[in-house]
Amino acid sequence: MTASGGIVDVLSWIAIVGGSAFLVIGAVGLIRFPEFWSRLHAISVLDSAGVLLLLLGMGLQGGLSLVTVKLVILGLFLLITGPTATHAVANAAFVSGLRPPIRSEDRAAVAATAAAATREPPASDGGPASGPSG
Amino acid sequence: MRLLGSATVLALLWLLMSGIYKPLVVGLGALSVALVLFVTRRMDAIDGDRPRLAFRPLATLGYLTWLLVEIAKANWAVSRLILSRTMPIRQMILDVPGSQATDLGRTLFANSITLTPGTISVETVEGENVIQVHAVAYDEGDHEALAEMGRRVSAIEAQRAG
């Protein structure tokens, strides 16, 4: 009893300390990153690794009880609402015209690989114009 | 039948969340279950839009496990990016083609992309099955990694008749 309890305690503390560490890292990223788009990614570290590890740690402390059931439901709920909220913020910024700072040489490289990928399937028809229709 | 199913799920949820089994509290629970069922029935009569869960259950569990591992790996990468002295940010917007048959599958794919640190689904392209994804530390392997995730989501979609 005490031995297994000790192992569970150690595991839950690892999860709680690890989750807290990810929360701190995410907060540091939120400050260090230069602008809006990169900062969004720092937040996604917070709400995936940080919160999930904290919930796992608390669930291990709770054992097989109603508290753990609530924590599991909370975790599932956060897995749906977290990305939805992040997407809502990103989409609102995108629609209102804020564009991420992309280096021009990177943009060219990606356009080249995308063109190579789309060139493969048709190949036969000449195509009225190059480039995407959108 | 659907009514009975919703009633069971709602009652179970109340019992699990409350944990207090006095007659008054359980009675209040029964009352709120009845109220919720009444409201949902009315709503259903108005818009009649019923989303269907067209996923294979066991395969979905397998996918979620794989996704958690991916999230852990991506977390590590983004944490390293945050803590590195030079912060090698390389932002990019990628067009990711989706291969999912259902709206729900597409939603799951887009949400999985956002859930994975380092990538966020930003916008869909009108009329095409394409998701625009913002990456903070772009790498040439990202195209293949995202396509792989898309294939896995398509694989758990149930075969739909017609």
The backbone torsions φ and ψ at residue A87, rounded to the nearest 5 degrees and listed phi first, read -65, -40
Report if residue A125 sits inside a domain. no
Total number of domains in chain A: 1
Q: Tell me: the pLDDT tens digits for B79-111? A: 888 888 888 888 888 888 888 888 888 888 998
Q: Which pLDDT value is given to residue A124?
A: 40
Size of interface A-B (CB pairs under 8 A): 122
Report if residue A132 sits inside a domain. no
Q: B interface mutation test: which of A110, A118, A120, A133 has the most B CBs within 10 A?
A: A110
Instruction: Look up residue B135 and give its DSSP letter.
Output: E
Q: What percentage of chain A has pLDDT greater than the value 90?
A: 20
Q: Tell me: the pLDDT tens digits for B11-42? A: 998 888 888 888 999 999 999 999 999 998 88
Contact list, A29 vs chain B (CB under 8 Å):
78-79, 81-82
Report if residue A126 sits inside a domain. no
Is A130 a residue whose pLDDT tops 60? no
Report if residue A78 sits inside a domain. yes
Report if residue A131 sits inside a domain. no
Q: Tell me: the pLDDT tens digits for A64-121? A: 888 888 898 898 888 888 888 889 999 999 999 888 888 777 777 777 776 666 555 4
Q: Which residues constitute the domain of residue A8?
A: 3-119
| Among A41, A70, A101, beta carbon nearest to B78 | A41
Q: What's the angle, vertex CA A29, arms to CA A86 and CA B70, rounded to 5?
A: 60
The backbone torsions φ and ψ at residue A20, rounded to the nearest 5 degrees and listed phi first, read -60, -40
Whether complex ipTM tops 0.90: no
Name the pTM for this structure: 0.78
Contact list, A44 vs chain B (CB under 8 Å):
78, 114-118, 120
Q: Which pLDDT value is given to residue A2?
A: 60
Is A131 a residue whose pLDDT tops 90? no
CA pseudo-torsion sign A64, A65, A67, A70: positive
Report if residue A128 sits inside a domain. no
Instruction: Look up residue A64 and give its DSSP letter.
Output: S
